[in-house]
Structure formats: structure tokens, C-alpha cells
Amino acid sequence: MKNNIKQGLGHYVLYFLLPIIILIAWEWADIAGLLKSYTMPAPIAIVNTFIEYLQNGKLLTNIGVSLVRVVEGFLLALAVGFAIGIGVSIFPKFDTFTDLVIQTLRPIPPIAWIPLAILWFGIGQGSKVFIIFLGAFFPIFINTTEGVKNIDGRFFELAEVYEIPKQKLITKIVIPGALPQIMTGIRLGLGNAWVCVVAAEMIGATSGVGFMLSDGRSLSRPDIVILGMLIVGIFGKIMDDLLKALNKRLIKWQ
């Protein structure tokens, strides 16, 4: 029991050690006069900005707006990416039908779509969700496809011998067999969703964490910029941890 407690404490000490070292070094550099407040504010300045934005309501508003956009774009990408990924893996003709378009669009960065997204959907929610969808779609699609392709071919041969219906093949063999790689794609897609929401909100937006970054740059306030960056990192980390926990529950054999 005591050994388990010591191991647990040791784990958390190691887990938080690097952030603590960074904060100490950051604070020391400020005290030593190595930092200029207009380029790199002290940690206490970031805390004060956090309190300021929390009290005036801007923090929760911007976080809420970005969070809704990320969830909407990500869930749409999850549904479409998963469905098309399974489809091209199971039906060769569908793979041939979609391959040229998908593989041509895949290398195009989601940020490159921003001008068209604004023309098509305006500067409101639609354009932001579209950019997030593009960023999250391809990791989910690719990992779903590769996950199915990595399933032992003998399972498919056995299913063909016993004439198992396609629907049952997908639910009983394809999804369970490809699930580890599908979950990897989901985690990558969610990470990309946060990248894309920041990029989309920095152009033609009036709210959101990306807007905070753009606003901080316009006001020459690096404290706002750093606060926005930390918000993205923290929420991205929290959502990734939730997916990791879900992954452990779904894939107990790993």
C-alpha cells in the first residue's frame, strides 16, 4: 500500500516537474531583467490577465464559443470520416470512385480554405465549422482506412465463407478490429480541430480564443496572446485525456 502511494506521488511529481521548472526559470528571467514586458510578460501578468478576463466575462464567452465550434466541426468530421473510411475499405469500387478527389484534397492545408469558406458561409459559425471539419476529417479517415486494411485477412475470408451480411461484418469484425487505429485518428483529428479553430477565428471573427490571440496582437498585449495559447493547450490536453480514458475502456485487450 505504501509503495503504491509512493509510486503515485512520484508519478505526479515527475508529471508536474517540467512545468514548475519552466515557471521558475520564467519568473527568474523576469526578476533578472532579461524579459521585456512588451514582448514576454512575467507569469504574474498572465495571471492578472486571466483574472481580468474572468471577471469581465470575456474568458468564458470566448472559451464557450470556441468549444462549441470545435465540437461541431469535430463530430461532423468524425461521422463523415468514419463512414467514408469504412466504405472505401469494404467496397473497392467506392474506393476507386472517391480516391482521386480525396487524395487531391488531402494535401491542401485547411487554412488555405479560409478565403473560400468566408465567401461560401460568411464570417459566422458556418465558415469556422467548415475549416475545423476539414482539419479533423483526414486524420480520422486515413486512420480508419488503414485500421481496416491492417485487420487479418483471414477474418474476411471466414466471413465470406459463412456469407456474413455486410452490416454484421462491419459491426462484429471491421469496427472492433480497426478500433485502436480509429481511436488514434480521432485523437489526431481532435488536435487538428483546435489548431483549425484558432486559425479560423483569427480571421473574420468577433469571438473565440483565436479572436483573443488576434486581439492581443492588435493591442500589442502579449499577455492576452499567451493566455489564449494556454487556454488552447489546456483544453486540448483535457479533451485528449478524455479520449485516452475512453480508449482504455473500449480497447481493454491493449
Task: Report the CATH number that the domain containing residue 169 is assigned in CATH.
Answer: 1.10.3720.10
Residue 6 within any structural domain of the chain: no
Q: How many domains does the chain have?
A: 1
Q: Is the dihedral of CA 184, 82, 239, 8 positive or negative?
A: negative
Within a domain: residue 30? no
- The CA radius of gyration of the chain, in Å to the nearest whole number, is 23
Per-residue pLDDT of the chain (254 residues; tens, 9 = 90+): 556 666 667 778 888 899 999 999 999 998 888 888 888 999 999 999 999 999 999 999 999 999 999 999 999 999 999 999 999 988 889 999 999 999 999 999 999 999 899 899 888 889 999 999 999 999 999 999 999 888 877 777 777 776 777 777 777 778 888 888 999 999 999 999 999 999 888 877 788 999 999 999 888 899 999 999 999 999 999 999 999 888 888 776 55
Reading the block at residue 65, the C-alpha cell is 464559443
Residue 142 belongs to a domain: yes
- For residue 145, being part of any structural domain is answered with yes
Q: Domain span at residue 97?
A: 57-250
Closest of 65, 66, 31, 27 to residue 46, by C-alpha: 27
Q: Angle at the Cα of 123 (from 120 to 124), degrees rounded to 5?
A: 100
72 domain residue, yes or no: yes
Q: Is residue 128 part of a domain?
A: yes
pLDDT of residue 212: 92
List the alpha helices (DSSP H) in the chain. 2-31, 43-55, 58-90, 92-105, 114-121, 125-149, 153-161, 166-169, 175-201, 209-218, 222-250
Residue with cell 464559443: 65
- For residue 83, tell me if it sits in a domain: yes
Domain contains 46: no
